[in-house]
Amino acid sequence: MSEPQKKGCCLFTVFKLAVLLIFVVLATVVVLGMFVLSGSYDVSRETTIKAPPEAVYKQVGDLREWPNWLPFTKPKYDDTVKTTIVQAEGVGANQHWTSDKGNGELKFTKADPEKGVEWRMVFDKKYESVGSMTFDRSGDETRVTWRMTGQNDDFLGKWLAAAMPYMVGPMFDEGLADLKAKVEAN
């Protein structure tokens, strides 16, 4: 007659399987992060505003106006953001910010009332990106495209790049809707 299996033996086997499963999942995350994910991202959204490019530029080309439409500084996303504007307008316009969620700086590299603005942004002195708000006039309307591109090469950065369209894309949509409302109200 065989002895019944001890209860502790089964629990130990389940524990070993759980540890093995956790190890496999972690190894998969590491392999994906280091060897499969490229780390590059390109997020863009657009809207059409019933106004000429110059009217849109009054909001986009002046950093003092960004709180009117920029979602990232809204309390629902981050109520700890403190922004300091060093220069508000034109090529070289720049600002920096501090927050419990990270610090950053932004500087305009192009500024044209007919075509839009382009900037370089650095987040936490580590993650660089190029952003832009470009204008395309069509009659009495302006198509505005908000775009951000970048390349993150470290492990966490590659995962952030993969998530960027899902994290930033909806905020771009919200910001463009607010920009549209603000410009069209004037």
pLDDT digits (tens, 9 = 90+) for 13-64: 888 888 778 877 776 665 565 666 789 999 999 999 999 999 999 999 999 9
Whole-number pLDDT of residue 129: 97
User: Which positions of the chain have pLDDT values less than 50?
Assistant: none
DSSP structural state of residue 184: H
CA 92 to CA 90: how far, in whole Å?
6
State which amino acid sits at residue 48. Answer: T
What is the distance between the alpha carbons of residues 140 and 123, in angstroms, rounded to a whole number? Answer: 37
Which of 146, 145, 126 minimizes the C-alpha distance to 39? 126
* Separation of alpha carbons 19 and 16, rounded Å: 5
- pLDDT for 13 equals 82
pLDDT at 2: 54
* DSSP reduced 3-state for 93: coil
How large is the greatest C-alpha to C-alpha distance in the chain, in angstroms?
Answer: 92
> In 10 A of CB 10, how many CB atoms?
10
Task: Write down the pLDDT at residue 72.
Answer: 87
What single-letter amino acid sits at 114? E
Q: What pLDDT sits at residue 20?
A: 77
pTM for the whole structure: 0.82
Residue 34's pLDDT is 60
Nearest to 157 by CA among 28, 21, 33, 5: 33
Give the per-residue pLDDT at 135: 98
Residues contacting 134, CB < 8 A, separation 6+: 115, 116, 118, 144, 145, 147
